Amino acid sequence: MEEPTASRPYMPGYGLVDAGQGSGLLPWSWAVDRLQRSHDYWVATTRPDGRPHVMPVWGVWVQDALWFSSSRGSRKTRNLLARPPCAITTDNAYEPVVIEGEAALIDDPGAITGFVAALNQKYQMDYAVDFFNPTDNACFRVPPSWVWSHRSRLHRHPYPLDLSTDVPLIFARSIAMGVQHLTMMTPLVVQEPREHLSEGRRK
C-alpha cells in the first residue's frame, strides 16, 4: 500500500488549527505500529435488519491489511458475507486506530497458512492450519479505505483541554477506484495546574 498523505479531517466546532501549526501530524508508521501490536480488535458489522453488531477478535496486521478469523456460523461471519463493509478498532482507547474497509473472505490455502503463522507468532500459540478449514472457520482480510486515530494524554493529565492546539489529520491516497481517506489525530494538549506550568508540557 502506498503511504498515505496526511491532512485534516472536517470537524467544525473543535477549534482545530492549520496543518502547519500545533505539534505536527502523526506519521502513518504511528498507526501501523499500533495496528500491529494491538492485542485485541473490535469488529463492527451490520445485521441483516440493519442493527449493529460488535465483537472482539484476535488479529494480525499483515500485508497492509488486518486479518482475523471467526467461526463460519458466527453472527459476524454471516454479517460480513452478506455485507462486507465493516469498522475495526484497536484495543487502546487512549491511542486508538479505527479502520473502515471491506472484508474479503480468504480461502486460498497458502494465504491461510501465512495468516496462521503470523497469528501463532504474535499470540504464542500453536494453531494447526487445519483448524482454519474454510468449511468450519472463515478467515477475513480487511484492507483499510479510511482510518482515524488520535493520541491522548488524558489518562495522565485529567485537566481541561485546550482544543485550540488539537492537531487532527487525514491520510488520503489515490487508488484505482478513486480517492479514499484515512483520518488520524495528533495529541490532545491539556492545560496543567498552575503549580506544574514551570515544568512545561511533558513529552
- Distance between start and end Cα atoms, the chain: 31
pLDDT digits (tens, 9 = 90+) for 119-132: 999 999 999 999 99
Residue 188 has pLDDT above 60, yes or no: no
Residue 76 has pLDDT above 50, yes or no: yes
DSSP string, 84-107: -EEEEE-S-TTS-EEEEEEPEEE-
Q: Show the cell assigned to 164.
A: 485550540
Domains, the chain? 1-24+152-203 (no CATH), 27-150 (2.30.110.10)
- How many CB atoms are located within 10 Å of the residue 192 CB? 16
pLDDT-wise least confident of 7-16, 57-66, 142-151 = 7-16
Distance separating alpha carbons of residues 141 and 119, to the nearest angstrom = 13
The vertex-91 CA angle with 89 and 97, nearest 5°, equals 40
Mean confidence (pLDDT) of the chain: 78
| Residues 6+ away with beta carbon under 8 Å from 36 | 60, 61
Residue 52 has pLDDT above 90, yes or no: yes
Taken in order 31, 32, 37, 41, the sign of the CA dihedral is positive
Q: Show the cell assigned to 184.
A: 488520524
**Residue-level pLDDT at 19:** 64
| Residues 6+ away with beta carbon under 8 Å from 123 | 58
- Provide the strand spans (E) within 72-177: 85-89, 97-102, 104-106, 137-142, 144-149, 168-175
pLDDT confidence band for 98 (50 / 70 / 90): very high
**Residue-level pLDDT at 12:** 78
